[in-house]
Amino acid sequence: MTEPIREVVCPITVDVLVGSGPPPALASELRYLPDDPLAVTIQLGEPDEGVQWVFARSLLFAGMFASTGEGDVVISPGVDEQGRALTYIELSSPDGVAVLRTHSWSVAEFLRKSEQLVPIDGEGERVDIDAVITHLLEETTA
């Protein structure tokens, strides 16, 4: 008997678009946990040394087809010189902006695997909204 899948982890390579010249490639990964069904995590670089960003899985999905997002995370589609689909991820913080580029096939594969655990638009069935509201109210009164 096989154990059920409890998370999806997909290695990806992102190009960090900075200045002119060839962009440096950075080994990274996308992670999805059904216990937090609305979110995905991108780990840039090694877990002990890199940076993590958490954002909505729906944003990643929508950004493959049209530029979407505002604030800290904006995701947009693109095409390289050979006509291959690309996904751009723009991350903003008080320290600056990073623009990442990866092949859309790797993002699509990650999303396909995550949908096997929790369908996109099916996250609400896995979230205890009452518990979330209670938690938020406790934080604002503390």
With 60 as the cut, is the pLDDT of residue 122 above it? Answer: no
C-alpha to C-alpha distance for 6 and 40, rounded to whole angstroms: 14
Asked whether residue 3 is domain-assigned, the answer is no
With 60 as the cut, is the pLDDT of residue 88 above it? Answer: yes
pLDDT, tens digit, 9 for 90 and up, residues 20-44: 778 889 999 999 998 888 899 999 9
C-alpha to C-alpha distance for 112 and 46, rounded to whole angstroms: 24
Q: Which pLDDT score, from 0 to 100, does residue 96 have?
A: 87
Asked whether residue 36 is domain-assigned, the answer is yes
Asked whether residue 70 is domain-assigned, the answer is yes
Give me the sign of the Cα torsion angle 119, 122, 126, 132. Answer: positive
C-alpha angle 37-16-41 in degrees, rounded to nearest 5: 10
Q: Which pLDDT score, from 0 to 100, does residue 137 have?
A: 67
With 80 as the cut, is the pLDDT of residue 49 above it? Answer: yes
Residue 120 confidence class, pLDDT cut points 50, 70, 90: confident
CATH number of the domain within which 20 lies? 2.30.31.20
C-alpha to C-alpha distance for 73 and 92, rounded to whole angstroms: 6
Domain count, the chain: 1
**Residue 75, domain extent:** 8-141
